[in-house]
Amino acid sequence: MPQILSVSTHLPPNLIKQEEAVELSRSVFSGRFKDIERLLTVFQNGDIEQRNVCMPLDWYGQAHDFEERNELYISHAIEYGTVAVTKCLESDMLDQKVDYKDIDAIIFVSSTGIATPSIDARIMNKLPFRDDVKRIPLWGLGCAGGASGLSRANEFCLAYPEANVLVLAIELCSLTFQKDDYSKSNLVGVSLFSDGVACALVAGDRSKFRSQEVRPSIVATTSKLMPDSEDVMGWDVKNNGLYVVFSKSIPTIISDWLGPFVHQFLDKYNLIDKDISHFVAHPGGKKVLEAYEEALHFDNTMTEISRDVLRMNGNMSSPTVLYVLKEFMESKPAKGEYGVLAALGPGFCGELQLLKWE
């Protein structure tokens, strides 16, 4: 089975406390919402204390067109992605340093900007990768992207067991902030989303870099699409950029839909909820985590790491589940324990992985 050898993370330089985000939102939106103070309670109710973003706070109170936003996305994504890749290949999680020349494929995941050539190609021009590395950019998966990237890396390593694959997830959600979007979806999005980068190294079972330490192996993966659910989450693309689509029904959908999805997946491998020691969940928000617990009959200790990542980082979209995975790996689960990695995103869709620490 392919093995996840290391995960690195990197945060942009501007730390924003949740109270500062409240004040920005009050100044921007107070003239448009009669009940602004009641609506602003969404910031306090989300269990987020701080977030990191790529631009200084006052930048977000000014007008910016799509071109400016996207140029910033490209430049910051290259800078932050280069750092994350280097940290991943030099991680203390590895038994030995992995050289750039040992990488056979890069799966690049993002949904918050547009670049052709994609960001992975631009990073390859900064770092000494081989010129025959397979490039697999994934766009539009949103919060499900980090999990989907790991699943596609798993499949690559099953096809090429000697391969080493990087999964690089970069989201600069803050650059999509629209100060002239007076929808409640936008206000909720402002209360949740942030910027972050993560990189994971996945090795096939005949890779020379298989770890001697206990690491999560990917036993199986599955994907699921809910038909006719495009309006649950995503982007509306307009002249000024990307406008958030964020349905208030998401927690209800998770409660009704996620449980059967996970249970059917586990049943294929003769497992049940109680066999799962670790729930590596993308923390979409406080209500989303509560919906996970309800749907899967987990107590809140199973979502503790996800909750901590959300509290200190907000929802960074696709990289967030890799931040959670990194915390689990550093906590050193016991050999033989099972975990489920889960993330949900636009589509509406879900991505699951069955992990086994070995």
Active-site residue set: 143
What is the distance between the alpha carbons of residues 252 and 260, in angstroms, rounded to a whole number? Answer: 14
Instruction: Identify the helix (H) or strand (E) that includes residue 291.
Output: helix 286-296
Structure tokens at 315: 């929802």
Question: Which has the closest alpha carbon to 348: 234, 189, 262?
Answer: 234
Cβ atoms 224, 349 nearer than 8 A? yes
Q: Is 273 exposed, middle or buried (0-12, 13-18, 19+ CB in 10 A)?
A: middle
Residues 198 and 322 sit within 8 Å (Cβ to Cβ): yes
Pair 48, 18: CB distance under 8 Å: yes
**Residues 96-128 as b or e (16 or more Cβ within 10 Å = b):** eebeeebbbbbbbbbbbbebeebbbebbbeeee
Q: How many CA atoms lie within 13 A of 324 on its CB side?
A: 33
Q: How far apart are CA 163 and CA 129, in angstroms?
A: 14
